[in-house]
Structure 1
Amino acid sequence: MTQPHDPFRKDGDQPAAQQPGQYPPPAPGAGYSQQYGQPQAQQYGQPYGQQYGHPGFADPRATTYYLGYLGQEYGPYDYTALQQMASATRIKPDTTLRLADTQQYVLARDVPGVFSDKEWLTTLILSWLIGSLGIDRFYLGYTGLGILKLLTCGGFGIWALIDAVLVTMRKIPDSQGRALR
């Protein structure tokens, strides 16, 4: 009985005895760069030491962006212009941006450093429920104001109410001056 042709076996190699249910390891040089079971070298991904882990953001400060609004694009804008528009609430976290060099579409909240890593809804809930204890200010990174608000019981309720209204209107940034997500 003749064996069927095996494309992974060189001429003259004898087939190894196999038990049912076992598969032989792939032959070297059959499209595999390494031996079976050996760790493979990383062939893709970002190099080690890159600061930003999001694809397309090797350095967001060196990228030009186009703003997408109601089916039209506006721009080009640089990174500092995006930060200024975010702090002035002219763009929202859900605003669509296109990177000029890669033609990739992203949301404004995904560009590192434009918006805060703090959530607006979390801040709103903290401000309305336990704002008189200063927890909302601690969450935003204002430690000194949080302690002062805690010691005065939210400015006897007045400061807590004003903060709750300001957070509702998105007028309070985080401690680094970035708009909340």
Structure 2
Amino acid sequence: MVIVVIHLVDGVNHTYEIDCNNLRMGQYICPHPEYDFIDTKTQQPKDCTKENKAKVLCQVADGLICSGTKNNTFKKDIPCKWTNGYSFETSLLLSIFLGMFGADRFYLGYPAIGLLKLCTLGFLFLGQFFDVILIATQTVRPADGSHYVMPYFGAGVSVIRSNNFTYRLPQHDW
């Protein structure tokens, strides 16, 4: 729904009131998060939620007014990675040096697998080897569903999975 409100000031000044939830690219700008907006320990926005979203204050283009806020600013969801304090380096080092005793799995919140690795000496070191690879590639994450705390801001690992909706099925006319 677009509501058009035209104000004439000194001859020509048009202001349009719009729903800011459905803006197109170029109609708004979200500034780069400021230093006080980023948590220095997790390198993620401070208000990142379990839904992996954080809100940032955006500004609409000149001549537009948001119908919800009645001004030229609005809050927009940005993607983030929710962390709960589990360090990537700590879990990887635990897996390398104490993985045969299950310390890595205990740290990440998997006590049953940790106890099983403790009793079998890391499945005769084979389970330790696999856990080092799984933790290094971030396939195994903390049990609460959070992401690892990374001490740097930059590239990360994104897992891409295929399912029945992403797999291209053969068509009858092939």
Do Structure 1 and Structure 2 share a fold, with TM-score over 0.5? Answer: no
Greater relative contact order (CA < 8 Å, ≥ 6 in sequence): 2
Task: Mark the structure with the bigger radius of gyration.
Answer: 1
Normalised to the residue count of structure 2, the TM-score between the two structures is 0.43
